[in-house]
Amino acid sequence: TDGGGNLSLDSIPMGLPMSDPSAWATAMNNLGMAPMGMTGQPLLPDFDPALGMMTGIPPINPMMPGLGIVPPPIPPDMPAVKEIIHCKSCTLFPPNPHLPPPATRERPPGCKTVFVGGLPENGTEQIIMEVFEQCGEVIAIRKSKKNFCHIRFAEEFMVDKALYLSGYRIRLGSSTDKKDTGRLHVDFAQARDDLYEWECKQRMLAREERHRRRLAEERFRPPSPPPVVHYSDHECSVVAEKLKDDTKFLEAIQTLLTWIERGEVNRRTANNFYSMIQSANSHIRRLVNEKAAHEKEMEEAKEKFKLALSGILVQFEQIVAVYHSASKQKAWDHFTKAQRKNISVWCKQAEEIRNIHNDELMGIRREEEMEMSDEEIEDPSEMKETEESALMSQVEALKEENDSLRWQLDAYRNEVELLKQEQGKASRDEDTTKEQQMKLLQQALQGMQKHLLKVQEEYKKREAELEKVKEDKLKIETLLENLKEQESSMSRVCACSQEKECPAEKTLSNSPVKSEREVLLVGIISTFLHVHPFGASIEYICSYLQRLDSKICTAEVEVLMTRLQNTFRQELSGVGASLEKRWKFCGFDGLKMT
């Protein structure tokens, strides 16, 4: 066996009494060995050597050799039976099965190191190696002067086998001395080497995953498009022909875009590129017409869907009416209970489906009503503004079209001049073709001039309409000004009548005291300052007034007193840091002055 070779028959003392053969067989089976007697005969004939255990008994010992992985969990209803383990120099006795399992800390990632405590004082590294090499290959043992050590294994699953020995009592030889006995406590240990190896392994797995993902992406990546040909006169003529064809337009426009971005446009090729751009511009009208056709098809499909949905609703209504008529007493009494139940269930289902379809149809109609309401006219003033803005936009569009037509005329003139220059240099064979081109260009010029005249006439009409709108606007503004003048004259008349009716109020509004409350405050403050002939500070005055009314503030009192200069006077008293502002009552002097 691999991993449990140290626990052979030679390592078990043969002189031990074996009173219970079945217990001996269970212990040997848990250690992963074939149950053999003293004479070498098999104790249990139904032992399956291929499985390494007795048939009919589940694996309950994680020390079983040949696993190579973390042992499977033990069922809760199957208690683990731990037996005595005999080694050459020591004996391990199992813990009490009724006690709870020993506690362990949280397992660190990539843990290959265990902490072993409770070792005998006389225990050596050879004894520790003899006990724990049963769990797997031991790489290093770091023993402390105290009764514990750290053991590092070659693989992670060996740590789980070592944890199985936690709780065992160890005895060296047959001695009963305390220094030769101890209780093993095995737990996970956190080591930097384990963490480093685990991180390296994780990085390697991540690299493999990235490489695998990159390969998958490259496998599913679409092939790159074919390269765009370089510009030449021949290729330019081919692309110009393709631009006129609707089926090859997309390929040709991509080639044209690539040439322009590469910087193939210069003085010699500018006219060719302009003609290609012009032919690309001619496709705009086709695309707009296609969009309108698709929109029309969509509207027709909506109408068909609405008609079909209304027909389905009518049929649902008829089916529900059949169910309701069948539910009436004349027909209902003749059905059995099962038939009645089925009819009621069918009626409910039909009503639910009908309601869903009805809500859908109503939602479509609501959307149409909302679209119609958005298109309705809200106010005549807004209508006028929208008309004016529409006219302005049309005028601007006409101006832009006029400018573009002028530029086209200039381009055609340049082309005619170039043709004239080339006509003198070219041979006689090309004269006929150039004359045809000249005729075509002249016809195009005549057509453009006619179109220009039409555009100018439309422009004049739009300007006349715009002037009419401006005149209407001026009339409305004059009417508004007349109305405002009438309102102002009416308000003046009302103000004069009010002044005649209430002159007393006018006199009150001109006085420094604006309300009855301020008059009361003036009287109280005057009485208070008359009692204090040397004056008082504003805080002292306000503290007295706040006893009468807590809502009075210092700023309000100070503003009122500064307004009445003939009644109250502010004086400064003191020197330096003791400078203080005091208010005095001067009403009698002010009466003489006024």
pLDDT band at 184; cut points 50, 70, 90 = very high
In this structure, are 279 and 313 located in the same domain?
no
Q: Is the pLDDT of residue 431 over 80?
A: no
Instruction: Compute the average pLDDT of residues 35-48.
Output: 46
Instruction: For residue 536, tell me if it sits in a domain.
Output: yes
pLDDT digit string, tens, across residues 298-339: 989 988 988 888 888 889 888 988 888 888 877 888 888 888
Of 491 and 150, which is predicted with more confidence? 150
pLDDT digit string, tens, across residues 533-560: 888 888 888 988 888 888 888 888 888 8
Instruction: Compute the average pLDDT of residues 264-280.
Output: 89
Domain boundary residue, one of 304, 339, 358: 304
In this structure, are 96 and 150 located in the same domain?
yes
At 158 the pLDDT is: 94
Of 204 and 78, which is predicted with more confidence? 204
Q: Is the pLDDT of residue 587 over 90?
A: no
What are 101's two structure tokens?
Answer: 């399992």
- Residue 186 backbone phi and psi in degrees, to 5: -110, 130
Number of residues assigned to the chain: 594
Contact 161, 63 (CB under 8 A): yes
Domain extent, residue 186, equals 85-200
Q: Is the pLDDT of residue 514 over 60?
A: yes
Number of Cβ within 10 Å of residue 535's Cβ equals 19
Instruction: For residue 328, tell me if it sits in a domain.
Output: yes
Per the structure, the count of domains in the chain is 4
At 111 the pLDDT is: 94
Q: Is the pLDDT of residue 566 over 60?
A: yes
Instruction: Compute the average pLDDT of residues 573-586.
Output: 79
pLDDT band at 152; cut points 50, 70, 90 = very high
Instruction: For residue 254, tell me if it sits in a domain.
Output: yes
At 114 the pLDDT is: 95
Percent share of the chain, pLDDT over 70: 79
Contact 149, 119 (CB under 8 A): yes
At 6 the pLDDT is: 40
The Cα–Cα gap between 178 and 396 comes to 109
At 72 the pLDDT is: 56
Write the CA distances from 419 to 415, 422, 431, 440, integer angstroms: 6, 5, 11, 12
pTM exceeds 0.75: no
Mean pLDDT, all residues of the chain: 79
Q: Is the pLDDT of residue 248 over 80?
A: yes
pLDDT digit string, tens, across residues 87-126: 888 999 999 888 888 888 999 999 999 999 999 988 888 9
pLDDT digit string, tens, across residues 436-445: 888 889 888 8
Q: Are strands 181-183 and 90-93 parallel, antiparallel or unpaired?
A: unpaired
Q: Is the pLDDT of residue 53 over 50?
A: no
Q: Is the pLDDT of residue 43 over 90?
A: no
Which residue's structure tokens are 């009417």? Answer: 479
In this structure, are 298 and 313 located in the same domain?
no
Contact 510, 502 (CB under 8 A): no
Q: Is the pLDDT of residue 155 over 60?
A: yes
Domain boundary residue, one of 367, 383, 404: 367
pLDDT band at 294; cut points 50, 70, 90 = very high
Question: Which CATH number belongs to the domain containing residue 133 in this structure?
Answer: 3.30.70.330
The Cα–Cα gap between 86 and 171 comes to 10
Domain boundary residue, one of 304, 335, 351: 304
In this structure, are 268 and 323 located in the same domain?
no
Instruction: For residue 387, tell me if it sits in a domain.
Output: no
pLDDT digit string, tens, across residues 360-373: 888 888 887 777 66
In this structure, are 338 and 361 located in the same domain?
yes
At 29 the pLDDT is: 53
At 20 the pLDDT is: 47
The Cα–Cα gap between 19 and 589 comes to 135
Instruction: For residue 133, tell me if it sits in a domain.
Output: yes
pLDDT band at 405; cut points 50, 70, 90 = confident
Instruction: Compute the average pLDDT of residues 513-525.
Output: 84
Instruction: For residue 322, tell me if it sits in a domain.
Output: yes
pLDDT band at 195; cut points 50, 70, 90 = very high
Instruction: For residue 559, tell me if it sits in a domain.
Output: yes
Instruction: For residue 314, tell me if it sits in a domain.
Output: yes
The Cα–Cα gap between 466 and 395 comes to 9
Q: Is the pLDDT of residue 500 over 50?
A: yes
Contact 172, 90 (CB under 8 A): yes
